[in-house]
Amino acid sequence: MKQKQTLTRRDFLRYSAMTGSAALLVACAPAAPAADGEAAPAAAADEAPAAEMSGPKQGGTMTWVGHQEVAGLSPAFMGPTVHWVMIINIQNPLIAIDEFNQRELVLAKSVDVSADGLTYTFQLHEGVLFHDGTELTADDVVYTYDYYRNPDNGAPIVGSFTGIGSVEAPDKYTVQVNMDNVNAASLASWATVPIVHSAYHAEVGEETYSTSPIGTGPYKLKEWRPAEFTELEAFDDHFRGRPNIDVLREDIVPEPSVRMIALQTGEADSAVWPLLVEDSIFLEEDPGFVNFRTLANSIKHFPLNNSIPQLAEKEVRQALMHALDRQRIIDELWNGAAQVSHSNLTPASPYHHTGLKQYDFDPQEAMALLDGAGWAAGGDGIRAKGDQKLSFTITTITGDQARRPIAELAQLMFADVGVDVQLEEAPVATILQGMREGTMDASLYNWTYGSAVEPDPFSTLHSSGGNNFAQLNNARMDQLIEEGLQVVSYEEREPYYHEIQEIFVEEQPVLNLQFDEWMNVFNARIKGLPEGPKNSSMYQQAYKWWIEE
């Protein structure tokens, strides 16, 4: 990795809308009220030396609120945000991607990638201690990678390790990963998986480990009640120095308005899962709080099942794009805190294609396209072609109060051009299966089709991708995705990803709406927070922060 290249934690790519970077947006957002000195985040941007005791204070409890239970604390659970914020503070990865989208060496002292892109060599820090006092060695890394990439162990993160052939430990502090295939996206994924205590994990097994993990992180597990709270306490011998705040706690509060009240009353210091946009903006105006706005990588979109007759023609999907007043959705339902998406890649990506076809709100054009494709207006106002009505169901996540209004407004916009949309709700597990297997018509989701740093959309746009919700099967698209992963340099990759974006906007396999601004609110008593972060992964830096009442 000689060239300056930013990597993203695999998790960013994965979990809905976690990360993003858009300097321009952050600048125009009224971020932290700078007028009030107390509220402005204390400067600690780069290397806040935690050892320096002059500024930071020791002690206190910092409480975060999450929306779903923390089902386990092993690396296998690192997908969802509510889990990740705890897991990453208990265990450390070799490499992290920080909140500025920059690569940060954690357990690794250095990384070396061979010219052919097939060998990764990591030098580990020496003297890194686990919570039980034993020292971290290369064997722990080998064990962790080998355990979680073994399909027989059934770890959900097994997909992160695709492409790895073998992992070796030439000496106590060196790890060598040999790849079977070049995979430009892979370092960002598996290198960010936290390392477990190998001897302990081997002894107790994954299941027990996930209830009582031992890592090298700044915090060690104190008490864990999955549906109620997770409480961590400072690890005195952490290799980067003891964290300032004594206790780190995540409370699980499912009700959105109650999370908001918890922040307002000081019961919680931050919401790891964003509050309602309205609530975040309300707190942003309060000098007692700091709000970070970061542009999400994921698109808020309606995935469409391209294999059902109503939605199989690209003219229909293009017409649906024209029928949507996307700026209106952002203005009226999202408080303007989002950008219309004109591509599958965020504008923050260097691969973002600016010369793409754009779908402006144009109901006339939409109707012309539908007429042209043979979908004639019927007596009941719903278009049809033969016996097939132009009608489909959008299934939203049960209780997803924040996003469902978008589907309701879209339903009315589609009705204006003669397209009938039914709305249903279903649990996430039902939607994931329905969309992945093509038994559901459409949904409303935040999902990445390539991120700010890694443009690869394999899982969502490749015909064999695990999240090919659109059931897209485009030979040229598949070819471009496969070949794009085989090349490493920016210049060489660009043509592939530009063409992918061109196909995306021509085919419109999904209806892309907007890139959200992700909002993370903190109580201003938390000091040492980053300034102008570009993604919401700041929670892994909690060891640097301190509390000032």
- The interface with another protein within residues 161-190 (CB under 8 A) comprises 162
Which CB atom, from 366 or from 485, has the smaller least distance to another protein? Answer: 485
Task: Using the rule CB under 8 A, give the single segment among 29-37, 234-242, 330-338, 520-528 that binds another protein.
Answer: 330-338
The two structure tokens encoding residue 94: 């070799």
Distance of closest approach, residue 213 Cβ to another protein, in angstroms: 11
Residue 95 binds another protein (CB under 8 A): no
Taking the least distance from each CB to another protein, the nearer of 385 and 436 is 436
How many residues line the site for another protein (CB under 8 A)?
Answer: 89
Quick check: 206 binds another protein (CB under 8 A)? yes
508: left (phi over 0), alpha (psi -120 to 50) or beta: left
User: What does DSSP say about strands 391-397 and 442-443: parallel, antiparallel, or unpaired?
Assistant: parallel
What kind and span of H or E run contains 65? strand 61-66
Site for another protein in 242-261 (CB under 8 A): 251-258, 260-261
CB under 8 Å to 327, separation ≥6 — which residues?
340, 361
- Does 72 contact another protein by CB under 8 A? yes
Output the smallest distance, CB 183 to another protein, in A.
10
Q: 252: which 2 tokens? A: 């699980």
Per-residue binder mask for another protein (CB under 8 A), 476-495, x = binder = --------------------
| Residues whose CB falls within 8 Å of the CB of residue 13, separated by 6 or more in sequence, listed in order | 185, 188, 189, 297, 448, 451, 454
Widest CA span of the chain, in angstroms?
77
The yes or no reply on residue 448 touching another protein (CB under 8 A) is: yes
Q: Which one among 241, 287, 465, 495 touches another protein, defined by CB under 8 A?
A: 465
Helix axes 138-149, 198-209, angle to 10 degrees: 30
C-beta of 116 vs 152, nearer to another protein: 152
- Cβ neighbourhood burial of 183 (10 Å; 0-12, 13-18, 19+): buried
**Exposed (0-12), middle (13-18) or buried (19+): which is 34, by Cβ within 10 Å?**
exposed
Q: Which residue's CB is nearer to another protein, number 59 or number 466? A: 466
Residue 420: enclosing H or E segment and its boundaries? strand 420-426
Contact with another protein (CB under 8 A) among 1, 199, 373, 426: 426
Of the residues 112, 328, 380, 479, which one makes contact with another protein according to CB under 8 A: 328
98 is a contact residue toward another protein (CB under 8 A): no
Only one of the segments 152-160, 284-292, 472-480, 533-541 lies at the binding site for another protein (rule: CB under 8 A); that segment is 152-160
Q: Pick the closer one to another protein by CB: 194 or 528.
A: 194
Task: Please state the closest distance from residue 15 (CB atom) to another protein, in A.
Answer: 6
Report the distance separating Cα 45 and Cα 482, nearest Å: 38
Q: Which stretch binds another protein (CB under 8 A): 49-57, 76-84, 106-114, 234-242?
A: 76-84
Name the minimum Å distance from CB 162 to another protein: 5
From 43, 202, 312, 428, residue interacting with another protein (rule: CB under 8 A): 428
Q: Are the CB atoms for 516 and 306 separated by under 8 Å?
A: no
Residue 80 lies near another protein (rule: CB under 8 A): yes
Q: Name which of residues 253 to 312 contact another protein (CB under 8 A).
A: 253-258, 260-262, 264-265, 267, 276, 278-279, 282
Q: Give the distance, in angstroms, between the CA of residue 350 and the centroid of all CA atoms in the same chain.
A: 18
How is residue 265 written in tokens?
């009353």
CA distance 165 to 178: 5
Q: Which is nearer to another protein, 26 or 82 (CB)?
A: 82
Strands 61-66 and 270-271: parallel
Which residues make Cβ contacts (< 8 Å) with residue 431, sequence separation at least 6? 395, 397, 440, 443, 445
Site for another protein (CB under 8 A): which residue of 305, 467, 471, 523? 467
Which residues fall within 8 angstroms of residue 54, CB to CB, at 6 or more apart? none
- Give whichever of 26 and 76 is closer to another protein, judged by the CB atom: 76
Interaction with another protein in 370-409: which residues (CB under 8 A)? 398-399, 401-402, 404-405, 407-409
Least distance from another protein to the Cβ atom of residue 254, Å: 5
Q: For residues 329 and 513, is the Cβ–Cβ distance under 8 A?
A: yes
Contact assessment for residue 479 and residue 463, using Cβ atoms and an 8 Å cutoff:
no
Does residue 158 interact with another protein by CB under 8 A? yes
Span near another protein by CB under 8 A; candidates 102-110, 194-202, 429-437, 508-516: 429-437
Q: Is 35 in the site for another protein (CB under 8 A)?
A: no
94 touches another protein by CB under 8 A: no
**Sole binder of another protein in the list 430, 463, 473, 486 (CB under 8 A):** 430
Q: Which C-beta is closer to another protein: that of 153 or that of 489? A: 153
The closest alpha carbon to 494, from 355, 356, 353, 358, belongs to: 353
Cβ 287 to another protein shortest distance, Å: 16
Binding segment for another protein among 42-50, 461-469, 513-521, 540-548 (CB under 8 A)? 461-469
Comparing CA positions, the residue from 218, 119, 133 lying closest to residue 175 is 119
List 123's β-bridge partners, or say none: 110, 174
Q: Contacting another protein (CB under 8 A), which of 226, 287, 288, 363? A: 226
Could you identify the residue written with the tokens 């923050």? 348
Cβ neighbours of residue 205 under 8 Å, at least 6 residues apart? none
